[in-house]
Structure 1
Amino acid sequence: MHNVVVLALDQVIPFDLSTPIEVFTRTRLPDGRPAYRVRVCSEHAEVDAGHFTLRADWGLAALADADTVIVPGTADPARPPSPTVRAALCAAAARGTRIASICSGTFVLAAAGLLDGLRATTHWAAADRLAAAHPAVEVDPDVLYVDNGQVLTSAGAAAGLDLCLHLIRRDHGSAVAADAARLSVMPLEREGGQAQFVVRRERTAPAGSRLEPLLRWMADHADRPLTVAEIAVRAGTSPRTLTRRFREQTGTTPLQWLHRQRVHQAQHLLETTDHPVERIAERVGFGSPTAFRDRFRRVAGTSPQAYRRAFQGHR
């Protein structure tokens, strides 16, 4: 039987903690036997879980015979794990133990040095913070999970479920994983490379910046085929100066910023209407459906049709 140890740290996110426990505990082999033994361990007997306190039956010594260690997210990802926890994780990694994280649990693995030189992901809202705090980690905020073989990381809570199903498929094959997915009322086909379906907002201009009213005007007129020259006239400056100011204050160019605004608007229409993609492309200001599909995939990491299926599956 495969031993799974869930490492609970203070301020653990309850959903992140319960997901691997529920998924692995319910998984059965074809002959009906449990596929996993699941234990929850912690450095201390009691763990702060926000609205309640939980007791862990096992200490860090449980990592010694674990086949897989799961590190759930915590409410304070900037809080580093204790030296004892870091040492226990490093010792487990040195023994060849498989180690995976859910959501902000990636920060714990990064703090232990287990992600140096590797690609990793976390919740999109924390990706910039992870990259800044751990420059040796290649942070990819646009996927559900990353499998490096021994070390795996996942994005938000739902992506943690995808990761658990992926591990079951690795261990016991697709049939067992499919049964586990059905028990979780979850599709098995969401692959790790699928986008998190979130377009991260661009940096906005600083408060009081001369670009603020221009950005509002551009957003209001994103459905028009605006050019850099036209935007520069509106701003009362040259195209070259406009582009320089945009890069300095938003980190992108005027047209790239505009394309992202159009994709934001398209996301809303894909979520709330049944308009054909061609009509949406026209409404949000793209010259052709082909150009729209290409830009949408570049910004959102998936196709308009896949995005709609994800958010309108009930319609």
Structure 2
Amino acid sequence: MALAVTDGTPLFELAGAHEIFGVDRGLASPWYTLEVCGPRTAGVGGWLRARPEHGLDRLATASTVVVPAWRDLEEEPPGALIAALRAAHAAGARIVSLCTGAFVLAAAGLLDDRPATTHWAHTDLLAERHPRVRVRPDVLYVDDGTVLTSAGKAAGIDLCLHVVRVDHGAAVANAIARTLVVPPHRSGGQAQFVPAPVPATDDHVLADLMAWAGERLDQPLTVTDLARRANLSTRTLARHFAAVAGTSPLRWLLAQRVHRAQELLETTDASVEQIAARTGMGTATTLRRHVNRVLGLPPEAYRRTFHLTR
């Protein structure tokens, strides 16, 4: 895995990617070998010397290339970086951009005719400059197979954890999230911007309800059940979910069921039918449909890939 650095690369996104991919916590083997690539004199964050280990030409040999935020949207990315990214993509590398790094990918033509996102404050500019990009302004990140883009700052962490989840499974990604004290999973389709900030603690209005529902995923819960438990109308409940979680009550509940199914597939030998019952999805057919839609694999294939005893 390669981390592409140029002079003036913002520090936050680079540091976040390095903390997730560059630290082997013994959670999976083999872990990533992260190489920092860029000009020898590159500075980071406006004051720190990065001292990259390799030049940008090294990107062409990486299996995954991470492009942090671009330093100045009024400047064109350097030709050497553009050429290196094109070479890496042509060689089959997975290209991951964080925040305004999407502008670098767009300048390289890697986002042409693809869905992509960036920080909400710059999505209009991305669409204006690069009309072939199918800009999605209201999501946290977009996984389009070999090219992945994220919104700003914290969403870059979400995308990095998503990459770990794809490569090593939910249990490993959740363990890293716990270490970093960040949410273990925020879906890429979640809204970037919600009417009120997402609470960092568990003292928000839905905390007790979410905990209560999480303990009853095996039951056929409805929005009416959730509203009754919270002593709210269904309309007020929907407003609170939009403000706190950036999604609807039913979408949140389904996401919790799929996450629980992931954990059970990874950590138990329960049958698909048993997992469907324990997650409230009812039938194996329903479980297979939702797991395949969210994870891109049927439950059996997901278990073969990520079961912790494999």
**Alignment TM-score, normalising by the size of structure 2:** 0.63
Match of 1:183 in 2: 179
1:181–1:27: structure 2 CA closer, same or farther, 3 Å change rule?
A: farther
Match of 1:86 in 2: 82
Match of 1:209 in 2: none
Establish whether residue 125 from structure 1 lines up as the match of residue 70 from structure 2: no
RMSD: 3.3
Specify the code of the residue in structure 2 equivalent to 1:10. Answer: D
Q: 1:19 aligns with which of 3, 16, 20?
A: 16
Specify the code of the residue in structure 2 equivalent to 1:57. Answer: E
Deviation at 1:51, TM superposition (A): 3.2
- After TM superposition, the structure 1 = structure 2 runs for residues 215-294 of structure 1, keeping only pairs within 5 Å, are 267=196, 290=235, 293=238
Percent identity over paired residues = 47
Deviation at 1:293, TM superposition (A): 3.8
Match of 1:75 in 2: 71
Query: SS state of the match for residue 99, structure 2?
Result: coil
- After TM superposition, the structure 1 = structure 2 runs for residues 59-70 of structure 1, keeping only pairs within 5 Å, are 59-70=55-66
Q: Deviations over 1:11-39 (max 9, x none)?
A: 21101111111111224455x64511111
Match of 1:41 in 2: 37
Q: How far apart are the structure 2 equivalents of 1:274 and 1:168? A: 31
Q: Which runs of 5+ in 2 are unaligned?
A: 207-232, 253-310
Q: How far apart are the structure 2 equivalents of 1:53 and 1:139? A: 33
Q: 1:194 aligns with which of 190, 197, 207?
A: 190
Q: How far apart are the structure 2 equivalents of 1:304 and 1:121? A: 25
Contact 2:70-2:103 at 8 Å conserved across structures? no
Contact 1:16-1:102 at 8 Å conserved across structures? yes
Establish whether residue 112 from structure 1 lines up as the match of residue 108 from structure 2: yes
Contact 2:118-2:149 at 8 Å conserved across structures? yes
Specify the code of the residue in structure 2 equivalent to 1:160. Answer: G
Q: Deviations over 1:83-117 (max 9, x none)?
A: 22111101110111000000000100000000000
1:274–1:33: structure 2 CA closer, same or farther, 3 Å change rule?
A: closer
Match of 2:164 in 1: 168
Match of 1:302 in 2: 247
1:295–1:166: structure 2 CA closer, same or farther, 3 Å change rule?
A: closer
Aligned residues between the structures: 224
1:92–1:182: structure 2 CA closer, same or farther, 3 Å change rule?
A: same
Q: How far apart are the structure 1 equivalents of 2:44 and 2:134? A: 30
1:48–1:273: structure 2 CA closer, same or farther, 3 Å change rule?
A: closer
Q: Which runs of 5+ in 1 are unaligned?
A: 200-263, 276-287, 308-315
Deviation at 1:45, TM superposition (A): 3.1
Q: Deviations over 1:153-204 (max 9, x none)?
A: 00111111111111111111222222222222222221111111x25xxxxx
Q: How far apart are the structure 2 equivalents of 1:190 and 1:295? A: 17
Q: How far apart are the structure 2 equivalents of 1:305 and 1:54? A: 45
Rg larger in structure: 1
Q: How far apart are the structure 2 equivalents of 1:175 and 1:294? A: 31
Establish whether residue 135 from structure 1 lines up as the match of residue 131 from structure 2: yes
Establish whether residue 8 from structure 1 lines up as the match of residue 8 from structure 2: no
